[in-house]
Structure 1
Amino acid sequence: MKTKPFKSLAILLAGSLALAVSACSNGAETDKGTAVETGQPAGETSESGTPAADTGAEETAASGEARVLKDSMDHEVTVPAEPKAVIASYLEDHLVALGVKPVAQWMIGEDKMQSYLQESLSGVPGIPSELPLEVTASYSPDLILMDSAELVAGDKYKQYSAIAPTYVVGNAQNNDWRQELLTVGEVLGKKDEAQKVLDDYEAKAADAKAKLEEAAGGAKKAAALWATEKDVYVVNMNLSSGDVIYNDLGMTVPDIVKQASEASEANWSSLSLELLADLDADYLFLVNGSGKDKAQVLADPVWRNIPAVKADRVYEFDRDSSWLYTGAIANGQMIDDVLASVTGSK
């Protein structure tokens, strides 16, 4: 998923979900749509310990009027008082959390969208992840939110701005999802709602962490793996689902995961068979996109000596689940999955 990893990478569709691994970054990075960036704090911190949204507002008009805000690239953007037709490709987790329905949603291929959000986004048409100008204009948006500076490289910002006010949310290689949420909330005039979503998430994570401490005891090493038809990928310890299981839930990082995370800034990195065989994990959270069932995947001798496999602590999730994404909704679902797997309850 960067330069900003998801949008800059080619996504390989194999069956229903695609790989976004390293199409543009020496074979290591994955598309943000399949492996999202998190875990790198951005911006200031509020008194509650959560990132404070900083849109750089130079001028805020009275309630009910347009506001002039500075985005992450120092563009001055006149934001409508109440945007009615928003396009915020790959920021839909934040929109749904804030009760906002976009006019089009992020899509890879011809029809692949973020499945875990479809209960809320049913009926919203897809728009290609590269946001073609003519297609974007066809939806007559009154506000465009870009999650990546890369999407507006060159003269693209000027072209999008000719369609509608265009606000670039982040420009880091891996934007912190918490900061993104707060920034999107600020831009949409839902600052308090965004803070509540974040506070509720932090409380949920803290409660789950305490339950896991009690249930897991000394067996706390965990890893999230993504099995595809040909390869196995391991999540970065500070990004995507790695941010959830290690930073939010306090599970222990195996040495192999540390090594992979230090070697690459990608959300997911390819794991050699030798390293996979040496993975010292008590729990495995397996995103299975291999086309085989779990038993068939684990039948390969390379898995045999992994503690989680020996102890029957391998928990399988569909590639359409939230495990390849990030945001308050995606991460909350992951927390539910981990609790249900390890403790038998949510």
Structure 2
Amino acid sequence: MHIRKLLLPTLLALALSACRSTLDTVPLRVTSETATTRTIEHTFGTTEIPAAPQRVIALGEEGLLADLLDAGITPLASIVNLPDYLPALIAPQEVAGVELYSSSTSVSLERLAALEPDVIIGTAFFVDRIGYAKLSQIAPTIAVAGENEVENYAQTLAALGLADEATSKVAAFEAALQAARSQLGSAVDASVAAIYPGNSVAVFTDRPRTVPWLLRQLGVSLHPDGSEEGLSLRDGRAFISLERLDLLSGTQLFLLQNDSVEGEADSLAEVSANPLWQQIPAVQAGRVTVLDRLGYPGFRGVNALLQDLMEALNSCRITKSPAMFAGLSL
């Protein structure tokens, strides 16, 4: 990793993009198709799109962008968390020529229209936020609405006529997941947390964050698990005081950090130097793994994350980013 600095608007973008909509969503599904068209039922209604779209706009941040690239489609444009700093799993040459817009700012509908797309595909959250009716005036618009990255991938490929490919690859992932779960066995536990700028500590217990969700799929018990008294959870995340670091009682600690956020490295250094931090069991045992919380986009990201989690869970050594975390008392 390389340390990068962001201004406050981008930091706010990270918070916004992690939000969950109260929109009632339905999974995307194909209801019919012909040689030239495909009819899609989704959260906002029923839409007919070209059977083989050539000019696609993606409104689902890095996850949807990665899934489209894996489907062989390079979109004309995509919204992302950080236009200047894509995750390492998305190679620069993959997005050469793609217009990247920050998901924190208002997307220019005029610019999208000027690109003359033949289909707009987005996650239900972003399609709703930008405006389905407005987008539909530009091009046929559809929305994926999976409960996790695997479901989003399957829905995206189904919309593109690649359902069989998705089924095969998802089956391979599920087989790998089952094998990993069997390898781990029982009685494996962990904690998942993040330290944000301002020394704000958050714990994670479940989706929509991929790391706690995938750990649960592996059969790992999370501490805290969300049932603790006084834990104010929202979308699987709760902020805690330093005095409640005792909640991080798992034998393995996963920290979800990002070295692009201004002030985050300083906060991590300060919190990790606190005596209360040193009392965390995983810290004392040297079982702390730092993961890039924006570094695992889409289905390719889930596959990579599975490998990284298994490596960490099977290892007794501390894992950390050499650039950002060297010398910290993790």
Please report the TM-score for the alignment, with normalisation by the length of structure 1: 0.73
> Which residue identity does 1:342 align to in structure 2?
L
- Inter-CA distance 196–259: structure 2 relative to 1 (3 Å threshold): farther
> Which residue identity does 2:291 align to in structure 1?
F
Tell me, in whole angstroms, the C-alpha distance in 1 between the residues paired with 2:291 and 2:30: 40
Task: Tell me what 1:72 maps to.
Answer: 43
- Inter-CA distance 328–36: structure 2 relative to 1 (3 Å threshold): farther
Tell me, in whole angstroms, the C-alpha distance in 2 between the residues paired with 1:206 and 1:17: 38
- Inter-CA distance 20–211: structure 2 relative to 1 (3 Å threshold): farther
Confirm or deny: 8 A CA contact 1:108 1:128 kept in the other structure. Answer: yes
> Which residue identity does 1:310 align to in structure 2?
Q
Task: Tell me what 2:212 maps to.
Answer: 242
Confirm or deny: 8 A CA contact 2:203 2:224 kept in the other structure. Answer: no
Deviation at residue 83 of structure 1 after TM alignment:
0.7
Deviation at residue 177 of structure 1 after TM alignment:
3.1
Secondary structure, aligned partner of 2:90: helix
Out of 57, 69, 87, the residue aligned to residue 96 of structure 1 is 69
Tell me, in whole angstroms, the C-alpha distance in 2 between the residues paired with 1:131 and 1:312: 44
2:285 is equivalent to residue 315 of structure 1: no
Task: Tell me what 1:8 maps to.
Answer: none
Greater CA drift, 307-316 or 123-132: 123-132
Deviation at residue 148 of structure 1 after TM alignment:
1.5
Confirm or deny: 8 A CA contact 2:205 2:224 kept in the other structure. Answer: no
- Structure 1 or 2: more strand by fraction: 2
Secondary structure, aligned partner of 1:140: coil
Secondary structure, aligned partner of 1:146: strand
Confirm or deny: 8 A CA contact 1:286 1:315 kept in the other structure. Answer: yes
Deviation at residue 314 of structure 1 after TM alignment:
0.6
Task: Tell me what 2:324 maps to.
Answer: none
- Inter-CA distance 56–313: structure 2 relative to 1 (3 Å threshold): same
Please report the TM-score for the alignment, with normalisation by the length of structure 2: 0.76
- Inter-CA distance 269–330: structure 2 relative to 1 (3 Å threshold): farther
Secondary structure, aligned partner of 1:338: helix
Tell me, in whole angstroms, the C-alpha distance in 2 between the residues paired with 1:102 and 1:197: 22
Task: Tell me what 1:81 maps to.
Answer: 51
Confirm or deny: 8 A CA contact 1:97 1:197 kept in the other structure. Answer: no
Out of 183, 195, 208, the residue aligned to residue 211 of structure 1 is 183
Deviation at residue 119 of structure 1 after TM alignment:
5.1
Percent identity between the two aligned chains: 24
- Inter-CA distance 122–73: structure 2 relative to 1 (3 Å threshold): closer
1:5-154 matches, cutoff 5 A: 13=6, 18=11, 30-32=15-17, 35=18, 55=29, 57=31, 59-61=32-34, 63=35, 65-74=36-45, 76-90=46-60, 91-108=64-81, 111-118=84-91, 121-123=94-96, 124-129=98-103, 130-148=106-124, 151-152=127-128
Tell me, in whole angstroms, the C-alpha distance in 2 between the residues paired with 1:73 and 1:194: 23
2:160 is equivalent to residue 193 of structure 1: no
Tell me, in whole angstroms, the C-alpha distance in 2 between the residues paired with 1:260 and 1:16: 34
Q: Name structure 1 gaps, 5 residues minimum.
A: 1-11, 22-29, 44-52
2:134 is equivalent to residue 159 of structure 1: yes
Q: Name structure 2 gaps, 5 residues minimum.
A: 259-263, 317-330
Secondary structure, aligned partner of 1:78: strand
- Structure 1 or 2: more helix by fraction: 2
> Which residue identity does 1:340 align to in structure 2?
E
- Inter-CA distance 200–337: structure 2 relative to 1 (3 Å threshold): same
Greater CA drift, 104-113 or 333-342: 104-113
1:175-186 matches, cutoff 5 A: 175-186=147-158
- Inter-CA distance 303–309: structure 2 relative to 1 (3 Å threshold): same
Task: Tell me what 2:320 maps to.
Answer: none
